[in-house]
Structure 1
Amino acid sequence: MSFTIPRTQKAAVVSTAGATLDTIKTDHPVKTQAELAPGECLVKLECTGVCHTDLHAALGDWPVAANTPLIGGHEGVGIIVAIGNNTGHCPVKLGDRIGIKWLADSCLNCEHCRKGREQNCPEAKLSGFTVDGTFAQYVVSYVNHVTPIPEGFDSNAAASILCAGVTTYRAIKYSNTAAGDWIVLPGAGGGLGHLAVQYARTCGLRVIAIDTGAAKKKLCLSLGAEAWIDFKESKNIVKEIKALTGGEGAHAAVITATSGAGYEQAVSYLRAGGTLMAVGLPGTATFDSSIFFTVFKSINIHGSYVGNRQDAVEALDIAARGDVKCHFELKELGDLESTYEGMQNGTVAGRVVLNMKD
């Protein structure tokens, strides 16, 4: 099997973080097969999701800046069209349909990798942040970290599972909950949140969705949330959650919102022994909550950062079976800037996926 690889491609490039958003270039170079290093593969993209992390990378508003100039994006699905020479024990082959995640590569041999925390590897490469990502027609990735897409699973539907899905799935997986427990999901109508609602339901959890707006309310309730709280209308979110949960509070909260307020309230509405899963990454916000009640209530606070290779396989398998569905709007690469504007204004319900086919 062989593929014709062009010398140039269309790509969205961040020239300097914070100076401007992505600029669409039509003559960006494509690596040839001979230029690939051992362990690298070239992927022809079919589509890519757009994540709030991509916006942070473009704006440069995180404590750690992206490597620029840079092609953003980290939720890509495509076909492997070339593999680097001297790639030993290669787990993929030409023509395989695979997914590219935020975690592009890791050493697989350090303590973090051996313990399943590949995302914390000191040598980790991050798609669309430290290495070029998926806002391009062709992307260089790494054979040991690409994820097979289940046969029959639509590429557009799979794209956002590779980040938003994996991230929320892992957080729920480690939230110390059991079927019948209450879980609170601030930001439930957003790209991560609406997937978290569904993964929580597959675990038998009772979901309290927090967000704002009629469209997000309709989405969350249609996906199985048992209760809805509009944070702009509520006079006392903590009181409402306790009333819904028999006075004791929720067993867990997965905070996907990108503001500090969601974190600060959680200790107050979690019951004794409850778990706060910290997922959303506000650029400069701090976590300010009562140390006394955190200790007194035996609250667990657990930072959950994306997911490892096994988490990705599991999250995709659940979605491919139809138990989780990503609600997305399909757009073109030229719509990236308007998509970012929608993210900044909080008007994107669900997810946006960009068509990358010719």
Structure 2
Amino acid sequence: MSHSIPKTQTAAVVASSGAAIEIKHDQPVKSAEELAPGECLIKLACTGVCHTDLHAALGDWPLAAKTPLVGGHEGVGEIVAIGNNTSHSPVKVGDRVGIKWLADSCLNCEQCRKGREQNCLEAKLSGFTVDGTFQQYAVSYVNHVTPIPEGFDSNAAASILCAGVTVYRAIKYSQTSPGDWIVLPGAGGGLGHLAIQYAKVAGLQVIAVDTGADKKKLCLELGADKWIDFQESKDIVADIKAITGGLGAHSALVTAASSSGYKQAIEYLRGGGTLMAVGLPGKASLEASIFFTVFKSISILGSYVGNRQDAAEAIAIAARGEVKCNFALKQLSDLSSVYEGMTEGKVAGRIVLEMPK
């Protein structure tokens, strides 16, 4: 299967941290001959947009992204070329695959061998340390792209590659068993609405915490067992304990950018409960009572995206129709307005951008 690869393409470029997005139509495309062993070139059909992309563009994290930068890390497309002398490639030209936040890792260090590829010191990060998916053609790596099952819509798959994988892994390692209670603050949001569904697949009972009639309707339709509106509740901790027979929840998955959600979780988790820290705020600190963390034998675990196996499992579940992403479809040229909506907190669910034809 051959594909005519153009010399230039359309891409959304941030020239420097905090600079405005520029839609450039003369961005170079790496030719097949220029690809290094292990690299592949993907013609993208679409890409999701994540809050991480906004942080990368603004440069407001403790870690700085490369500049100039093509952001994005939730892309789905077709492999059109693979670097010469690539050995034992698990994918081939013509395969439809996904590009994730973790673009590549060494696969040989202790972290990689233990399944923590995302913590590899040589990890490459899509749309952060290497150019990502806000472009028509992206270079990625054969060992880390995720095959997309036949029949699974590319637009529906895009956000599973980050938001889905992230909450799936956090639930997988939340030290819960079927029938246990898990609390999901921000349950009606981009990550939260997927977390509800993955939690139900895992057999958990879900307490959805968010605000507003629309989010309540969404959360309950997706399978949440109980709903708490944080603006209407006079005591969230007491409400959660009442729902769970006075004992508290077994786990909490916190994606919030503030420290209050973590502090509160220590109070409503039962003895032996697990707090999964998932959100990546730039400056907030994790605040919790040391006394009650110890006294209640609480586990606090950081969960950072996922490895290749987590991605394969999360995609497979969604491809079977057990998890569906709520998304709005826009164009690559709309990226600036999408970032504005994210900054103002006006984006519900996820945004997926179609690539120019």
| TM-score, structure 1 as length reference | 0.98
Give, in whole Å, the separation in 1 of the partners of 2:16 and 2:113.
Answer: 35
Amino acid at match of 1:255: V
**Contact between 1:181 and 1:250, CA under 8 Å: does it hold in 2?**
yes
**Structure 1 position 262, deviation (Å):** 1.2
**Structure 1 position 220, deviation (Å):** 1.1
Which residue number corresponds to residue 169 of structure 2? 170
Which residue number corresponds to residue 193 of structure 1? 192
> Structure 1 residues 131, 94: closer, same or farther in 2, change over 3 A?
same
Which residue number corresponds to residue 61 of structure 2? 62
Q: Any idea what SS the aligned residue of 1:86 has?
A: coil
Tell whether 2:17 aligns with 1:17.
yes
**Structure 1 position 276, deviation (Å):** 0.3
Superposition map of 1:232-243 within 5 A: 232-243=231-242
How many percent identity over aligned positions? 76
Q: Which segments of 5 or more consecutive residues in structure 1 lack a partner in the other structure?
A: none
Give, in whole Å, the separation in 2 of the partners of 1:160 and 1:269.
Answer: 30
**Contact between 1:47 and 1:357, CA under 8 Å: does it hold in 2?**
no
Tell whether 2:113 aligns with 1:130.
no
Tell whether 2:4 aligns with 1:4.
yes
Give, in whole Å, the separation in 2 of the partners of 1:244 and 1:346.
Answer: 29
> Structure 1 residues 228, 234: closer, same or farther in 2, change over 3 A?
same
Which residue number corresponds to residue 93 of structure 2? 94
Which residue number corresponds to residue 215 of structure 1? 214
- Runs of 4+ in structure 1 off by over 6 angstroms are none
Which residue number corresponds to residue 316 of structure 1? 315
Q: Which segments of 5 or more consecutive residues in structure 2 lack a partner in the other structure?
A: none
Amino acid at match of 1:222: E
**Structure 1 position 212, deviation (Å):** 2.1
Which residue number corresponds to residue 78 of structure 1? 77
Q: Any idea what SS the aligned residue of 1:198 has?
A: helix
Q: How many residues align?
A: 357
Give, in whole Å, the separation in 2 of the partners of 1:335 and 1:212.
Answer: 28
**Structure 1 position 357, deviation (Å):** 4.4
> Structure 1 residues 138, 46: closer, same or farther in 2, change over 3 A?
same
Superposition map of 1:199-278 within 5 A: 199-278=198-277
Deviation per residue, 1:171-207 (Å, 9 max, x gap): 0000011111110011111111110000000111111
Give, in whole Å, the separation in 1 of the partners of 2:294 and 2:303.
Answer: 20
Q: Any idea what SS the aligned residue of 1:66 has?
A: coil
Give, in whole Å, the separation in 2 of the partners of 1:259 and 1:341.
Answer: 20
Which residue number corresponds to residue 184 of structure 1? 183
**Contact between 2:331 and 2:356, CA under 8 Å: does it hold in 1?**
no
Which residue number corresponds to residue 140 of structure 1? 139
**Contact between 2:76 and 2:98, CA under 8 Å: does it hold in 1?**
yes
Tell whether 2:327 aligns with 1:328.
yes
Give, in whole Å, the separation in 1 of the partners of 2:277 and 2:249.
Answer: 15
**Contact between 1:10 and 1:136, CA under 8 Å: does it hold in 2?**
yes
Give, in whole Å, the separation in 1 of the partners of 2:6 and 2:211.
Answer: 46
**Contact between 2:70 and 2:127, CA under 8 Å: does it hold in 1?**
yes
**Structure 1 position 288, deviation (Å):** 1.1
Deviation per residue, 1:152-172 (Å, 9 max, x gap): 100000000000000100000
**Contact between 1:161 and 1:316, CA under 8 Å: does it hold in 2?**
yes
Give, in whole Å, the separation in 2 of the partners of 1:162 and 1:118.
Answer: 15
Give, in whole Å, the separation in 1 of the partners of 2:335 and 2:238.
Answer: 40
Deviation per residue, 1:205-225 (Å, 9 max, x gap): 111111222222221111011
Give, in whole Å, the separation in 2 of the partners of 1:15 and 1:323.
Answer: 40
Give, in whole Å, the separation in 1 of the partners of 2:354 and 2:201.
Answer: 29
**Contact between 1:137 and 1:357, CA under 8 Å: does it hold in 2?**
yes
Give, in whole Å, the separation in 2 of the partners of 1:298 and 1:347.
Answer: 38
Superposition map of 1:275-290 within 5 A: 275-290=274-289
**Contact between 1:21 and 1:59, CA under 8 Å: does it hold in 2?**
no
Q: Any idea what SS the aligned residue of 2:190 has?
A: coil
**Structure 1 position 346, deviation (Å):** 2.2
Which residue number corresponds to residue 104 of structure 2? 105
